[in-house]
Structure 1
């Protein structure tokens, strides 16, 4: 059974900023992680407490940046569908979700139950991405790539929306090198040789279309949300990045040409980070949200009238913050 939707009148029930007030929304990801010997009930409770903190902050909407489970947990229906749906439904406003690697790409691994990644992804799409609205108790309308582009009908998880002169878009770019085949070496997920190039092409098209739509609408800023830490190798000097090169290059070029503020939000490496990862596109700001035991969300305030358009506030449980690192 997919998530139930509230009546149509709730589509516009999410709190909106008053005229002239900056836009505030929440971003979080990579939780609950239950593979470290800690009882999973405790980790789920931490996430449920975070949803209450998000609700108390009253953001215009929230974005979950993928990985609804740890890599060592089974990719069972009970975990990737039912458990996720239960706490997603605790968000009183609108919730937008973009998938990570742990809930489908890595499910073929024995530690995750040996599932077929393509079959798991099909279940996620049917459960969470089948309606023209977001998740959460007060869904908001979304434009899905599957509805707008006949060439990419199987990618409903890629969405776009506008709020207060800002264009938002999600790209289905997960960790584990974006599910790119590892040239026949051990570690290549089943079906990746077919799945990766098709989804990569869809992502690149959706990115181009999103920036074109933003320019056509006169948007003053763009926010791009995905799961993967595409710049891990830049920071840590190791790791596979070939599956992210196309997206990195396309985002850098699009941001440079757009010329106005662009904010990239992602998770994947599990600690708070803010920087400007692309020297040739100084208008591109990157924020990585915490996760994996650091059960906090980032409340983003965008004030396009200010000299510095972004403000960030971490909310939630700060008792186990993850240190910056390359583990």
Structure 2
């Protein structure tokens, strides 16, 4: 009887002793698990700037020039720029955002032919959009457009370019393609005088429709978009561009992802967010014999990187 009582007493004492031990062991295990989680996070840091680490892509790097050549001096400077660019071999393609001559110079065919021969010297595939100086500012805009199309329409086809380039049926100077989850779009958006209100509005509508169509079709396939145009539609007569601007902003808002609008026209650098849709970055390039290298890295929340000294 005594042994039985002693055994029960020892068992009770053991249970009382085990309870805090179990609690300690459980607490220790919890701490170890938490530490294990911390170790994992430290060994695989997550960059706060990463946009979508699950579907990372290679950055796309390209060069933009515009408003050149305006003189014999700029012509020589452009040739030197092309030689430097060919030697550096840093860009996958080049885009000229319009104005291949001064507005006051008559729109004569030899000028278009000369600039055509110069731009063909780029080793990288080269695209060009219309500027007002070689089109809208001409004494005969239709003649200027005819010359431009003769030498520059589908200009990129002078090179081998892997992505498939699409052209708008209604306006075949407008183009687009996709590369490494980036949508690229070029449009005929020029400034200066409105000679024919009907033609002007129709062209703006075509441009907006082309941008909207590309963004809608590619929204789930790309991580960002870049639009190339010539005109400054923010500071220089914004009202006359309203049809396009509203359509572009609406399409970009629905697109949600980062959009870069690259323009020439102003001849000095602007990098800002001029509209309420903060996913749109507007870039006005320096122009002249100053090129900018743009890198689009869709792995980053802020995917657009600019280098204005890469050929210095």
Q: What does 1:184-195 correspond to in 2, within 5 Å?
A: 189=195, 192-195=196-199
Q: Kindly indicate whether the alpha-carbon contact (under 8 Å) linking 1:167 and 1:219 is maintained by their aligned counterparts in 2.
A: yes
- Select which of 218, 223, 229 maps to 2:232: 229
Q: Secondary structure at the match of 2:183?
A: strand
Partner of 2:282: 286
CA root-mean-square deviation? 2.0
Partner of 2:60: 23
Q: Say if 2:120 is the partner of 1:58.
A: no
Partner of 2:190: 174
Shift of 1:23: 1.1
CA distance in 2, matches of 1:242, 1:308: 30
Q: Structure 1 residues 275 and 136 mapped into 2: Cα distance closer, same or farther (>3 Å)? A: farther
Partner of 1:210: 214
Shift of 1:101: 0.1
Partner of 1:160: 176
Partner of 1:310: 304
CA distance in 2, matches of 1:159, 1:137: 16
Larger radius of gyration: 2
Shift of 1:84: 1.2
Q: Kindly indicate whether the alpha-carbon contact (under 8 Å) linking 2:184 and 2:226 is maintained by their aligned counterparts in 1.
A: yes
Q: Structure 2: where are the runs of 5+ without partners?
A: 1-55
Partner of 2:114: 83
CA distance in 1, matches of 2:157, 2:99: 16
CA distance in 1, matches of 2:302, 2:283: 15
Partner of 1:263: 260
Q: Kindly indicate whether the alpha-carbon contact (under 8 Å) linking 1:91 and 1:137 is maintained by their aligned counterparts in 2.
A: no
Shift of 1:43: 1.6
CA distance in 2, matches of 1:126, 1:213: 30
TM-score of the pair, normalised by structure 1: 0.73
- Select which of 156, 164, 171 maps to 1:134: 156
1:44-84, Cα deviation, whole Å (9 max, x unpaired) = 010111122332243111111000111122211011x2111
Q: Secondary structure at the match of 2:131?
A: coil
Q: Secondary structure at the match of 2:188?
A: coil
Q: Structure 1: where are the runs of 5+ without partners?
A: 1-18, 35-39, 109-115, 147-151, 181-188, 233-238, 319-327
Shift of 1:139: 4.5
Question: After the TM superposition, which parts of structure 1 deviate over 4 Å for at least 4 consecutive aligned residues?
Answer: none
Partner of 2:105: 73
CA distance in 1, matches of 2:238, 2:99: 19
CA distance in 1, matches of 2:207, 2:102: 25
1:220-256, Cα deviation, whole Å (9 max, x unpaired) = 1011110001111xxxxxx423321111111211111
